[in-house]
Structure 1
Amino acid sequence: MHAPVVVLKDSTKRESGSKVHHGNIRAAKAVAEVIRTTLGPRSMLKMLLDAAGGIVVTNDGNAILRELDLAHPAAKSMIELSRTQDEEVGDGTTSVIVLAGEMLHVAEEFIDKSFHPTVICRAYTKALEDALAVIDKIAMTIDVKDRATMLGLVKSCIGTKFTSQFGDLIADLAIEATSMVGVDLGQGLREVDIKKYIKVEKVPGGQLEDSQVLKGVMFNKDVVAPGKMRRKIVNPRIILLDSPLEYKKGENQTNAEIMKDEDWEVLLKMEEEYVQNLCAQLLIHKPDVVITEKGLSDLACHYLSKAGVTAIRRVRKTDNNRIAKACGAVIANRPEELQESDVGTGAGLFEVKKIGDEFFAFIVECKDPKACTVLLRGPSKDLLNEVERNLQDAMCVARNIIKNPKLVPGGGGTELTVSATLKQKSASIEGIEKWPYEAAALAFEAIPRTLAQNCGVNVIRTMTALRGKHANGENAWTGIDGNTGEISDMKDKKIWDSYSVKAQTFKTAIEAACMLLRIDDIVSGMKKKQAPGAQGPSKPTVEQADDADNEQMIPE
């Protein structure tokens, strides 16, 4: 029995060794260069044309990279970093790419000197452990209930964004929304699910200052029968359903044969009675508003409006969940299973209002809402999209602080402290790993250096002065004021970063750099594009020859 052998045909592209390392490093550096200018408060915006011909104007690292169309696999994995960072902590999407690019850049000279990638990775992993120990030491804990501190923190984290010109507005909205949906799990733990329970509704028109956090939810629906149903109800009793209020139609294989005219009438009467029965089961609980995710027939609409009940149909599942959380209702699967406790009585006002051309239903003034809607107003769609991206970042920052109330210095202060401490530690490292470890320490300076570049100050002079202040490791809170480029104390300027964002940035950047350095072979298993009409083999170019009769079989 022969062992299976991988046979590479001539058409297979294959690169290996240092050529691959250099290619990967170049690709990663190119991605980092694209978004390097979007770091810090003095950052530039990028204008992107998407596939559909629309434009996106933003300086959000993740939003920019999402739109890039790249062919190089290493560059694609760099983009993945930014996405991971965004999903995990929602901030630091630009920093993570800049840092990973720099880590790979400083590794290049060691690859040239024939250092083994494993040695470099070992040194990097050690540097990461030491870096996390440093930020643990310099982090300071804050009180989450202190609104002014929270506001300052969220503002400093999104001070680099486009909306920072509107003052406290976005930070205020973010803190209010996040603290509203926080759920105490006991033992000092809090769950804050901002994706599920905070909906951002963008309505063009009005001023950005008109934006607000609603103590409840709004959704884009009107009542079923506008003329007959009330559009404003104070202290409504709300019933939520995810079943249809209409006659159950059989599937397409149902066949009914009717012999006499009377039978047809009997059939209609049965339908009517069924719908009437459904509505009667709802009306026992004296609801003011009935909201269903499915359909609602004209007949049901007639019975409900006759009883003075307002109905809304075909509401999204996610919206229905938010309504349930806001007004304390339970979504019922069948009308007959409804209980008094399932009726939502927590809302203070139900109202349908017309904003612009569309009708929106509001369930607001809730007593203890665990879900909310942020209503954003503004002059144009593009502006609102950017405001929404900034708001998401701000809400993530607020969530991180609520979960882990620790702060580290912003303005490159953390990176400089880590860099100075690692440089001192490198003296005690023996063997060949000493140099890559030192290089990793230098790579951390990429963040403050980029901040200085974007401010337009003399980079060499600023960096030298900063290194001098951090050399003894005492001035951990000294960094660059991103607006002016001056060296200042981050505590005085209130320029802070969240501990969890910083820790995640370091972890993601260094681990990704190690992963890319470990790649020594790129094999493309894609077949070449054939001329139209040409008949060619449909096999992939890298095949496993495991058939004994295969003519390409190579004996052991």
Structure 2
Amino acid sequence: MAAHVPKPPGYLQMLTSGARYFSGLEEVVYRNIEACKELSQSLRATYGPSGLNKLVVSHLQKILVTGDSSTVLREYQIEHPAANMLVLAMKMQEEEVGDGRTLVLLLAGSLLDRAGSLLRSGLSVPEVIKGYCQGCQRALEVLDELCCGQLEAPLDEGAVANTVRTPIMSKQCGYEGPLSQLVARSCVVVCSGGHGVFDPDLVRVCKVLGAGVGDSVVLGGMAFKKEAESLVTSVRDARVAVYSCPFELSRPETKGTVLLQGPADMLGFGDGEERLMEAQVRALLQAGVTVLVVGGKVGDLALHYADQHQLMVVRLHSRHELTRLAKAVGATPLLKLGTPSPEELGNCDRVYLQEVGSTQLVVFEQEKGAPAVATILLRGPLHGLQDQLEEAIRDGVSTYRSLGLDPRLVPGAGATEVELALRVAAHGASCPSLEQYAIQEYARSFQDVAEALVRNAGDQEQQVIARLYAAHQEGHRNLGFDMESGGTDLLDAAEAGIWDPLLVKRSAIRLATNAAVTVLSVDQIIMAKKSGGPKPRGDNPNWDEPPDHID
């Protein structure tokens, strides 16, 4: 009689061996909420101008000191599926508007934390989700009413510097003055040419170690930290040809054999290669090429004839940089070495080699008209500081792009969050159904964001938030937290020039709510068995010792 093999009861009997299954509030919803809450609290201290940095050691043992939430999460390598939903929401925020990633994480974490309290109080998951959706709709309506200004002159460096100052200050407090001027000048330089929709990738950052941040400059064109391959170091009114292939004679893909019967054949074979290479260089000169940019190896014979005919040769290792340079000079990247047509050549006012500090730079500078690409030559005494400054510059450039899509501004310094908390809570109190509790908790999530801003500045958040509530109830909706006074005074954020783009706030509220609702709507977790065989057996540390017994 065969032995009876018992099967696991319930849902697991339909799954393969090794699969796992979780269901219910305790096993799924509360665990997901706890994971997202811990992730949000781990990065709460990085929010705001006074936020702290994280020291992260990557899997390659590289040490990073950064306060950028996306950089920290990229090195975390999170595996929890619910926490990954918040990470995906932050990535979507970065792709859409480029800033406000930490706001998405804090708001979504607070919403889920308060949803757990509502569920333990007796509300059902659908009621909480419905209340959150109503609160989000009301918050977006109120947000449109809080507009306190807009960027009216996108080509005015002073106006642009004032609008991008706040997002830069949230990353690098103390350097917002020079950085905002650099960002404004580079963005205006690119947009002045009328190249269509502004692309943040057209503003490039070249970090050169040494000097101070105030010594940074904006170049109309591109700069690369490398030396020219040829002896020619400066060309004016250059005609630039861009190739993504090596600058040498083409080699066959298959191996061949050449039979040489004497010294004359040997010399003839070498002379043939030289004549062919010289003819290729002469063809480039006749086409008007004075600067040659290649993405592959530069042969010795090709470099010899380039120097002989005064042709400047620059080699770039990055395919992405090669494409951007071609766009900057108006050239067409060519895949094969040959004679280019006049339409495939680019123009550059000046190409030269310059030494900045102890670093050699090859600069492609457009002195006439508006260049298609601008480069911020960023100086600084430390590599870590330069990396943090580059993150702040990227946020400022992305803010300029979002202002091009929607120029409206809302007050910063926590004023918008407190006003949203008041108005959404009042809307929830007027609702007769059970969703009013979820709407009011949704409103308190904005208060949590403002409290994080005050707490990171080192002040008593309860006292400051109470004063902000009192001021906003009296109708002063632009009043925010004054970080410089230590919380003793409140300031008018609109008059102080502390603004946030309305598009960034709107996108953050929408994505945070969608992420929280998605996590709450999960009622089952089904995990299949991991693929692959058993783990490999480790080395035996006692390989040189004889066994205890022999069978």
Q: How many residues align?
A: 520
Flag structure 2 segments of 5+ consecutive residues without an equivalent: 1-10, 539-551
CA distance in structure 2 between the partners assigned to 1:33 and 1:446 by the alignment:
11
Structure 1 contact 13–523 (Cα < 8 Å) conserved: yes
Aligned residue among 518, 523, 547 for 1:520:
523
Structure 1 contact 282–335 (Cα < 8 Å) conserved: no
Post-superposition Cα deviations, 1:295-353, rounded to whole Å, max 9, x if no partner, equal 33222222222222121234533222332333333334455552334333332x22113
Give the superposition deviation at 1:269. Answer: 4.1
Q: Partner of 1:362: helix, strand, or coil? A: strand
The corresponding residue for 1:203 is 208
Q: Give the 3 Å change call, closer, same or farther, for CA 55–269 of structure 1 in structure 2.
A: same
Aligned residue runs from structure 1 range 177-196, under 5 A = 177-182=186-191, 190-195=196-201
Query: Are 2:38 and 1:30 equivalent residues in the alignment?
Result: yes
CA distance in structure 1 between the partners assigned to 2:431 and 2:292 by the alignment:
70
Structure 1 contact 285–340 (Cα < 8 Å) conserved: yes
Query: Are 2:17 and 1:17 equivalent residues in the alignment?
Result: no
- State the one-letter code of the partner of 2:22: E
CA distance in structure 2 between the partners assigned to 1:116 and 1:267 by the alignment:
85
Aligned residue among 169, 188, 200 for 2:178:
169
The corresponding residue for 2:14 is 7
Structure 2 contact 290–311 (Cα < 8 Å) conserved: yes
Post-superposition Cα deviations, 1:422-459, rounded to whole Å, max 9, x if no partner, equal 22222443423222122212212111121222233332
Structure 1 contact 293–317 (Cα < 8 Å) conserved: yes
Q: Partner of 2:348: helix, strand, or coil? A: coil
- State the one-letter code of the partner of 1:223: A
Post-superposition Cα deviations, 1:103-135, rounded to whole Å, max 9, x if no partner, equal 111111222244332222222122212211211
Structure 1 contact 223–312 (Cα < 8 Å) conserved: yes
Q: Partner of 2:409: helix, strand, or coil? A: strand
Q: Partner of 1:523: helix, strand, or coil? A: strand
Give the superposition deviation at 1:369. Answer: 0.9
Aligned residue runs from structure 1 range 44-443, under 5 A = 44-139=52-147, 140-143=149-152, 144-162=154-172, 164-182=173-191, 190-195=196-201, 197-225=202-230, 229-251=231-253, 253-258=254-259, 260-261=261-262, 266-334=268-336, 336-347=338-349, 349-355=350-356, 358-367=359-368, 368-443=370-445
Structure 2 contact 12–21 (Cα < 8 Å) conserved: no
Give the superposition deviation at 1:416. Answer: 1.9
CA distance in structure 2 between the partners assigned to 1:503 and 1:149 by the alignment:
22
CA distance in structure 1 between the partners assigned to 2:348 and 2:77 by the alignment:
48
Alignment RMSD (CA, Å): 2.7
Structure 1 contact 202–384 (Cα < 8 Å) conserved: yes
CA distance in structure 1 between the partners assigned to 2:42 and 2:211 by the alignment:
35
CA distance in structure 1 between the partners assigned to 2:530 and 2:402 by the alignment:
46
CA distance in structure 2 between the partners assigned to 1:184 and 1:437 by the alignment:
48
Post-superposition Cα deviations, 1:25-83, rounded to whole Å, max 9, x if no partner, equal 11111111111122222222222222333322222222222222444332233233333
CA distance in structure 1 between the partners assigned to 2:312 and 2:16 by the alignment:
70
Q: TM-score with structure 1 length normalisation?
A: 0.86
Q: Partner of 2:251: helix, strand, or coil? A: coil
- State the one-letter code of the partner of 1:302: H
Post-superposition Cα deviations, 1:357-407, rounded to whole Å, max 9, x if no partner, equal 553211124322111222111111111111111111121112222332110
Q: Which shows bigger deviation, 27-36 or 316-325?
A: 316-325
Structure 1 contact 245–275 (Cα < 8 Å) conserved: no
Structure 2 contact 208–359 (Cα < 8 Å) conserved: no
- State the one-letter code of the partner of 1:15: F
CA distance in structure 2 between the partners assigned to 1:346 and 1:70 by the alignment:
46
Q: Which shows bigger deviation, 382-391 or 484-493?
A: 484-493
Structure 1 contact 182–193 (Cα < 8 Å) conserved: no
Give the superposition deviation at 1:18. Answer: 0.8
- State the one-letter code of the partner of 1:217: M
Flag structure 1 segments of 5+ consecutive residues without an equivalent: 535-556
Q: Give the 3 Å change call, closer, same or farther, for CA 328–527 of structure 1 in structure 2.
A: closer
Q: Partner of 2:218: helix, strand, or coil? A: strand
The corresponding residue for 1:449 is 451
CA distance in structure 1 between the partners assigned to 2:113 and 2:12 by the alignment:
37
The corresponding residue for 1:496 is 499
- State the one-letter code of the partner of 1:360: L
Structure 1 contact 92–502 (Cα < 8 Å) conserved: yes
CA distance in structure 2 between the partners assigned to 1:333 and 1:52 by the alignment:
35
Post-superposition Cα deviations, 1:112-170, rounded to whole Å, max 9, x if no partner, equal 244332222222122212211211222232212343332122112222223x3134111
Structure 2 contact 45–452 (Cα < 8 Å) conserved: yes
Q: Partner of 2:43: helix, strand, or coil? A: helix
CA distance in structure 2 between the partners assigned to 1:12 and 1:191 by the alignment:
49
CA distance in structure 2 between the partners assigned to 1:10 and 1:287 by the alignment:
68
CA distance in structure 2 between the partners assigned to 1:172 and 1:325 by the alignment:
25
- State the one-letter code of the partner of 1:386: Q
Q: Give the 3 Å change call, closer, same or farther, for CA 325–99 of structure 1 in structure 2.
A: same
